Amino acid sequence: MSLPRSATLRSALIRHPGLVPGSAKRQATAYEIVRQALRPGRPRHKAGVTVVVLALLASFATPAMAQQAPLADTQLSDPAQEAQAKALMETIRCVECQGQAISDSNADIAANMRSLIRERIKAGESPEQVRAWLIQRYGDYISYDPPLGGATWPLWAAPFVLLVIGIAIARSSFRRKR
């Protein structure tokens, strides 16, 4: 059996019809596994209990107060640089929690990425350079702003195509010039 990785174990299993603040992540997993175990058609006894114990272990063994990266939640002293870094963070997707930007995530790796972005901006890199560096590491996945390219041109062309089609349809409801 392939165990879910701790990253996924912690984040991918949160299921509820509302928003998930990152802070809820670790413990929510244990809860969710209890739920899974309760569902019909799944082993309800030993296996479930083992998984629960494992999950609890995972949740408590995570560094409760990890040594956070230095600039994860510390603003840069230059407001212009901080604004640049912040704007960039809002467009970088968390690789662990997947549904959030790193600016809105409590995941450890998101915090570390925030710190990395602040460090690089502070060192004088432009936001687009940092984005390109991250795309080099993780592919287009990492950027909520899909770079224009072979796989994305239809996406960027769509608004214009829609506008043209819309105008064509709308024209038919207007009266011809008398």
Residues 63-92 that bind another protein (CB under 8 A): 63, 65-67, 69-70, 73-75, 86, 90-91
Token pair for residue 86? 């912040």
Q: Which of the residues 27 through 56 are near another protein (CB under 8 A)?
A: 27-28, 30-32, 34-35, 38-40, 54
Region label for 31, one of left (φ > 0), alpha (ψ between -120 and 50) or beta (otherwise) = alpha
Using rule CB under 8 A, residue 170 touches another protein: yes
Within 10 angstroms of residue 134's Cβ, the number of other Cβ atoms is 22
Return the structure tokens found at 14: 């949160």
Encoded tokens for 94: 């968390």
Site for another protein, residues 108 to 137, rule: CB under 8 A: 108-109, 112-113, 115-116, 134-137
Closest approach, Cβ 176 to another protein, in A, equals 8
Q: Which of 48, 81, 125, 143 binds another protein (CB under 8 A)?
A: 143
Query: Is 101 strand, coil or helix?
Result: strand
Q: Look at residues 25, 4, 30, 51 and name the one whose alpha carbon lies nearest to residue 109.
A: 25
| Smallest distance from another protein to CB 46, Å | 16
Rule CB under 8 A: choose which of 46, 77, 124, 167 binds another protein. Answer: 167
Smaller CB separation from another protein, 75 or 129: 75
Work out the number of other CB atoms within 10 angstroms of the CB of residue 127.
20
- CB nearer to another protein: pick between 18 and 124: 18
- The site that binds another protein (CB under 8 A) totals a number of residues, namely 93
Q: How far is the CB of 131 from another protein (least distance, A)?
A: 10
Distant-in-sequence, close-in-space partners of 157: CB < 8 Å, separation ≥ 6: none
Q: Which of 103, 121, 127, 130 binds another protein (CB under 8 A)?
A: 103
Rg of the chain, C-alpha, whole Å: 23
Q: Which residue has the tokens 């409590």?
A: 106
Output the smallest distance, CB 153 to another protein, in A: 11
Count of positions (residues) in the chain: 178
